[in-house]
Structure 1
Amino acid sequence: MSPNPPLPATLSLLSPLTPPSLERTWLTSPHPRLPLVATCSADKTVRIYSLQNFNLLSTITGGHKRSVRSCAWKPLVKGESVLATGSFDATVGVWRRWDGYGNEIDGINGDYAGGNMEVNVNGEGEVGGEGGGESDEDEEWRFAVLLDGHDSEVKSLAWSPAGSLLATCSRDKSIWIWEDLDDGDNNFETVAVMQEHSGDVKWVSWHPSEECLASGSYDDTIRLWREDVDDWGQVACLRGHAGTVWCVEWEGEGESTIPTANAEAGSSDGASEDETTRRNNTWLERHNQTGPRLVSCSDDRTIRIWTKQPRPRANPHASSSTGPGAIPSIIRPASIDETWSESAQLPGRHDLSVYSVAWSKRSGLIASTGADGRIVVYQERFVEEPPAAATTTEAKTDVDAHMDGADGDADGNGQVQAEEQPSLPRTEWHVIAIFDAAHGIYEVNHICWAPRVDRGRKEGEEEEVLVSTGDDGCVKVWRLER
């Protein structure tokens, strides 16, 4: 039997983040503006590292009584960094730090570049340094507020794209949505508590531009949530996984995620430049109709892509019912329920549970990792056949979304007439890189994409790296080379 052909890309270790935690690390979150990452650990701390020199900059302690399971940076904040942390002690902490301390050094504020500063919270909830002094550095991080409501371990949390809402989920099977009132007093208001999941809720993730939340659970389902009028509710339930859904992530928006033929990777099908442009334009048109897709990973060792089905367009030529008893369609209540289907399953390369999956907003690549310690990178490509000959072979899944009303206008017989959708060029996913035993014998709990700027690079020339977080307490930064 001939050996497997070499993969078109390789993963190489750029550097570990030092020093590591002495206990298990769960997740690493890249800062939205600065070359920093925050890593949460079983030792009850959150560590802030530099992505430029890979060194520890500060350690946040004292906010939680048990392992810190998740952390997330608030987006769109100017002049300040805001970090939310979720813990096995059932609480959520919010931390703040002014970005204006010190002078700029290598793109990081001077006090960050200066070294390792530990910030602790005392019994009164005030922030103080190791020596209890009152210097600016001692007050680098401020413990702003503790959100209390969950009955059990907080597993995941995420800020909405505008930063006004914070979603948290727990082993207590609930999802809470908190609103940051932004009143200067660090006040948060509970706006929703959703309890439709029948098992632990492992993950929450916001749509990149809309207030739509996706969740994954121990009950093997993915659920989507939106606000309707003044209350939050489920708009879809995606079934297909045969095990715990550990992670759900959204595709990015924009042309960067449109799959293109890559001759270097062996995916070119000989299509002309005009044909390639046509396929990309068709793909983009449909993508704009359906919006970003979802990727999920599970205890069943599979990684699946989910696509929202566009609502049928009304046929302008269809006749409508008239008469004194007819109700104008303009006041017909529209259903907020959505129909999603499983559109792809990525090649199986994991031998054990897949804990984490990340969809690059920049390149469209997907990376995965899990209990087998393996990191796998996937690329989407057009199928090597003329689009006209393509047939729809999307896998079907049970979707608990019910259309309460007809989408579009009905004809005289009450039949909905919709415009036919253009055929979508087919794509398939290929493995382009694999790295075994990324953290030695230990499980890898999380992986994410992060931008990184080397010294000498101009603004906008940052490279994208992968960051893995493992049971060995280490966080590693990887470079994908093609």
Structure 2
Amino acid sequence: MPHLEIVAILEGHQDRVWQASWHPTKTMLATCSGDRTVRLWTPASHDDFSKWHCVETLEGAHKRTIRSVAWSPTGNELATASFDATTGIWENDPRENDWECVATLEGHENEIKSVSWSSTGALLATCSRDKSVWIWEVESDNDFECLSVLQEHTQDVKMVAWHPKLEILASASYDDTIKIWKEDEDDWYCADTLEGHTSTVWSLDFNAEGDQIVSASDDQTLRIWKMYKPDNPQGIPTHNGEATWKTVCTLSGFHERCVYSVSWSKMNGHIASVSGDNSIRIFEKTQDSEASIDDDAPTWKNTTTYKDAHGVYDINGVSWFPGKQHSDWLSTVGDDGLVRIWRLVQD
């Protein structure tokens, strides 16, 4: 059976760590914390990954907890979402090798829970406890224009995530739903509402192709949703010429408490989830039979479990490494203020 081995433990944050975001092309990790800072970490050497250094601390831009951090697709910018209701845009000056907060986006009424860049880097999405999702257009000279304020969720919006290839946005909410947002002639609208979870949806992630989503909920389950386009061969009904999303697999009975975060590896196809039960679980799609290969009724197996991964503390986030060179790595962050990097070892 595969198992998880610890690669490194990163110490430095002075409060709980909420999220970790891998650089799109480098072996670098950005983490954000209740201590109002973002830390950038890299290995101390190219051949020893057990020791990591904090190479930069981004601070001074936010007055409260930084809840979410996201790299732009180029890796030249970072976005930070804070409980102070602002989003910070940080830019790297390669001449000085220094990071500066070059823009502050305002408008949300309450804590911002998540920030995400589109695959091209042309758009930014934020979501908040004020029940809204904002879509921003990235303009020249560090200007950002709010294109749309989407207010169809009826509760706190926990997370936003862009499709890996298209300008399609998904949002997860305290109202137990996921919404899919698309653009139509400069206006954004809700193309589908995904219903099935019986409590807060905390986290979601697309697969590499973008035709499936995994979601994690307070109801202690993971759901895998598949997109069905109009006139699909399966005969799944669609409305108004829009694709519809349906649950094709529900993973229950694994986590014993709220599932806070989920990550779908774009490299190896595995799903990782973390929970208030302090465990990491890895799921792999089984290929045992004809039925399990079928994407309309896939079978997923929990192949790896690591209990007490952050001791007695809640684990707030999990994220697979995005590139091939360390496709078996994932990071976790917790209320213990620590960042852990793991390797999935295939026995």
Question: What TM-score do you get using the length of structure 2 for normalisation?
Answer: 0.92
Structure 2: distance between partners of 1:206 and 1:214: 6
Residues 179 and 193, structure 2, Cα contact 8 Å, conserved in 1:
yes
SS, match of residue 22 in structure 1: coil
Counterparts of 2:265 and 2:253 in 1: how far apart (Å)?
19
2:220 match: 301
Q: Percent identity?
A: 43
Aligned to 1:141, the other structure's residue is in SS state: strand
**Counterpart residue identity of residue 310, structure 1:** K
Return the alpha-carbon distance in structure 1 between the equivalents of residues 336 and 4 of structure 2. Answer: 20
User: Within the alignment, does 1:376 sit opposite 2:281 as a pair?
Assistant: yes
Deviation, structure 1 residue 248 = 1.0
Unaligned runs of 5+ in 1: 1-7, 102-135, 254-290, 315-333, 393-422, 453-459
Give ranges in structure 2 of 5+ residues lacking alignment: 44-48, 234-238
Larger Rg: 1
- What root-mean-square deviation, in Å, do the aligned CA atoms of Structure 1 and Structure 2 show? 2.0
2:208 aligned with 1:252, yes or no? yes
Q: In structure 2, how many angstroms separate the alpha carbons of the residues matched to 1:148 and 1:207? A: 24
**Structure 1 residue aligned with 2:16:** 24
Letter in 2 for 1:175: V
Post-superposition offset of 1:313: 6.4
User: How has the CA–CA distance of structure 1 residues 336 and 152 changed in structure 2, closer, same or farther, with 3 Å as cutoff?
Assistant: farther
Taking a change above 3 Å as real, the CA distance of residues 424 and 444 of structure 1, as seen in their structure-2 partners, is closer
**Residues 90 and 150, structure 1, Cα contact 8 Å, conserved in 2:** yes
Question: Number of paired residues?
Answer: 335
Any residues of structure 2 matched to 1:267-416 within 5 Å, and which? Answer: 292-312=211-231, 335-384=240-289, 387=290, 390=291
Aligned partners of 1:343 and 1:465: how far apart in 2?
A: 27
C-alpha distance in structure 1 between counterparts of 2:241 and 2:62, whole Å? 38
Deviation at 1:343, TM superposition (A): 0.3
Which of 56, 80, 87 in structure 2 is aligned with 1:85? 80
> 1:5-27: CA deviations, max 9, x gaps?
xxx1111111101x331211100
Q: Distance in 2 between matches of 1:148 and 1:92?
A: 7
Match of 1:468 among 298, 315, 332: 332
Supply the distance in 2 between the matched residues of 1:463 and 1:93 (Cα, whole angstroms).
29
Q: Distance in 2 between matches of 1:344 and 1:39?
A: 31
**Equivalence for 1:179:** 137
Residue 218 of structure 1 pairs with residue 174 of structure 2: yes
Q: Confirm or deny: 8 A CA contact 1:228 1:336 kept in the other structure.
A: no
* TM-score, scaled relative to structure 1: 0.67
TM-superposed deviation, 1:340: 1.4
8 Å contact 1:347–1:431 — kept in the other structure? no
Matching residue of 1:59: 57
* Larger helix percent: 1
Taking the aligned partners of 1:462 and 1:14, their CA distance within structure 2 comes to: 11
The separation in 2 between residues aligned to 1:373 and 1:147, in whole angstroms, is 34
User: 1:170, 1:202 within 8 Å by CA — same for their partners in 2?
Assistant: yes
Distance 1:296 1:60, change over 3 A: same
Partner of 1:33: 25
Structure with the higher fraction of residues in strand conformation: 2
Q: Do residues 48 (structure 1) and 46 (structure 2) align? A: no
Which residue of the other structure, out of 339, 342, 346, is the alignment partner of 1:478?
Answer: 342
Using the alignment, how far apart are the partners of 1:373 and 1:313 within structure 2? 40
